[in-house]
Amino acid sequence: MTAASPGKRLHSATRLLHAGAPALRDGAGPVNVPVVRTSTVRFENTATQADHHHRRTAGERVASYGRHGLDTHRALEDAVVGLEGGHRAFLTPSGLSAITLVLLALLSPGDHALVADGVYAPLRRVDSTLLQRLGITVEYFSPTHDDLASRLRPNTRLLYLESPSSLLYEVLDLPALSAVARDRGVTVATDNTWSGGWFHQPLSLGANISIQAATKYISGHSDLMQGVVVVDSPALAAKLSTAYEALGLTIGADDAYLALRGLRTLPVRLAQHQRNATAVAEFLQQQPQVSRVFYPALPTDPGHALWKRDFSGASGLVSFEFRHATPAAANAFVDALRLFGIGASWGGYESLALAAQPERLREHRQWTGDAPVVRLHIGLEDPRDLIADLAQAFADAAPAL
Ligand SMILES: *Cc1c(COP(=O)(O)O)cnc(C)c1O
């Protein structure tokens, strides 16, 4: 049996490990997909070139130019499609560009889009700087507080979600929301970065499009910027493809390789992120300075039941709210951490802490608190060291908390 031949009956971790493996030539070959760097494609003759061009125009994934990517890109696309269970994947230079691609591919002047209020915040900048200029209306709503059906308009083209939400990890009822939207012919897209695509398959729960910042868990090593979009139908693939080409999007073969390498260990890394994050979340719950811990895997989390139904695990993101601290005291707590890095982003092997900006919290309609919130990304360190670091930061910043 060759590495490239595993069939559908294999379990998903096995398929992920072998996805895109190169075929053997003359009975031997490398384990890994080669990194095929190129700016263009060479053809034997003009007829072959024309044939490639026509097949590409008809929607086939063949390259007639460097921007289309070759073997490394195809292998990563196949692996991501296998992971998310869709029809076709698009690779973009960042997670944000993946979001923008979806918005520009599906929305035209005069269209209306409903966007969940807890989405990755920079989407609002795409709206205010680009979509508004194009005459596209974006309406933010609370998917847990508002009635979706009453917000749909005749010109609503897109329902855009993220579950769990950024920062506070509000779990959405994706099947119910998708059913309402699809009933009215509205396309459903959702940001699946939190689960890495491993703990949650939105396309099997009613979404049409799943978006991920591969920058986070797919890469897993804090050394890559990348986005992926997976669509569930040839019709959506054609729409995405048109916008993708018009925007001149592509990624380098080295980056495609790094993402593919990250994917091989996604299940084992995420299992450890979950173990460590659960230990940290349980520790945080016991701290008198902490009033609330946001982590859907905790039985006390309001989204726990939905999470249990629609997810097979939880990631390394844990946020918590201080009981009394001022924003300055929350900053002092973060500054007192020694092992945690201070910074944005997450999904790498290392732990990071970030004091949430109050204006970001206020974007979440369900947020009624006024105490500061700190977001932790729990990495793959020994959780005892992470807990010890948090404990010393609580002690160090104690007078202010
Ligand atoms: C980080 C992030 C993005 C954007 O990814 P970049 O690669 O940083 O552009 C999108 N969605 C979510 C949920 C994210 O956390």
pLDDT tens across 56-76, in order? 988 899 999 999 999 999 999
- Angle at the Cα of 30 (from 75 to 16), degrees rounded to 5? 40
Summarize pLDDT for 271-302 with one digit per residue, the tens.
999 999 999 999 999 999 999 999 999 999 99
Q: What is the DSSP string of 20-33?
A: TPPPPBTTB--SSP
Cβ of 100 less than 6 Å from ligand 1 = no
pLDDT at 357 (0 to 100) = 87
CA 281 to chain centre: 22
Residue type, 375: R
Q: Which residues contact 247 (CB under 8 A, 6 or more apart)?
A: 101, 104
pLDDT at 4 (0 to 100) = 47
CATH class for the domain made up of 12-264: alpha beta
Q: Is 295 considered catalytic here?
A: no
32-54 in b/e burial notation, b at 16+ Cβ within 10 A?
bbebbeeeeeeeeeeeeeeebee
pTM value is 0.96
pLDDT at 1 (0 to 100) = 41
Cβ of 225 less than 6 Å from ligand 1 = yes
For the ranges 70-74, 185-189, 230-234, 323-327, the lowest mean pLDDT is seen at: 323-327
Q: Is 216 considered catalytic here?
A: yes
Mutate to test the pocket of ligand 1, among 94, 166, 190, 193 (most ligand atoms within 8 A of CB): 193
215 CA distance to ligand 1 centroid (A)?
7
Q: Which atom of ligand 1 is nearest to the CA of 227?
A: 7
The catalytic residue among 15, 61, 67, 151 is 67
Q: Is 120 considered catalytic here?
A: yes
Structure tokens at 237: 């693939």
Q: What is the mean pLDDT of the chain?
A: 95
Q: Which atom of ligand 1 is nearest to the CA of 97?
A: 9
pLDDT at 2 (0 to 100) = 43
107 CA distance to ligand 1 centroid (A)?
21
**Run of H or E residues at 256:** helix 253-264
CATH 3.40.640.10 domain extents, the chain? 12-264
pLDDT at 269 (0 to 100) = 98
CATH class for the domain made up of 266-396: alpha beta
User: Which residue's CA is minimally distant from atom 12 of ligand 1?
Assistant: 120
Report the C-alpha gap between 101 and 117 in whole angstroms. Answer: 20
Kindly tell me if the per-residue pLDDT of 7 is higher than 70.
no
The catalytic residue among 120, 124, 157, 360 is 120
Structure tokens at 343: 């910074």
Q: In what order do the strands lie in the sheet with 290-294?
A: 290-294, 317-322, 373-377, 352-355, 341-342
The catalytic residue among 88, 216, 269, 375 is 216
Cβ of 196 less than 6 Å from ligand 1 = no
* pLDDT band with cut points at 50, 70 and 90 for residue 366: confident
Report the C-alpha gap between 359 and 395 in whole angstroms. Answer: 28
Residue type, 196: G
- Compute how many other C-beta atoms are within 10 angstroms of the C-beta atom of residue 169: 24
Report the C-alpha gap between 189 and 7 in whole angstroms. Answer: 29
CATH 3.90.1150.10 domain extents, the chain? 266-396
pLDDT at 3 (0 to 100) = 46
Cβ of 166 less than 6 Å from ligand 1 = yes
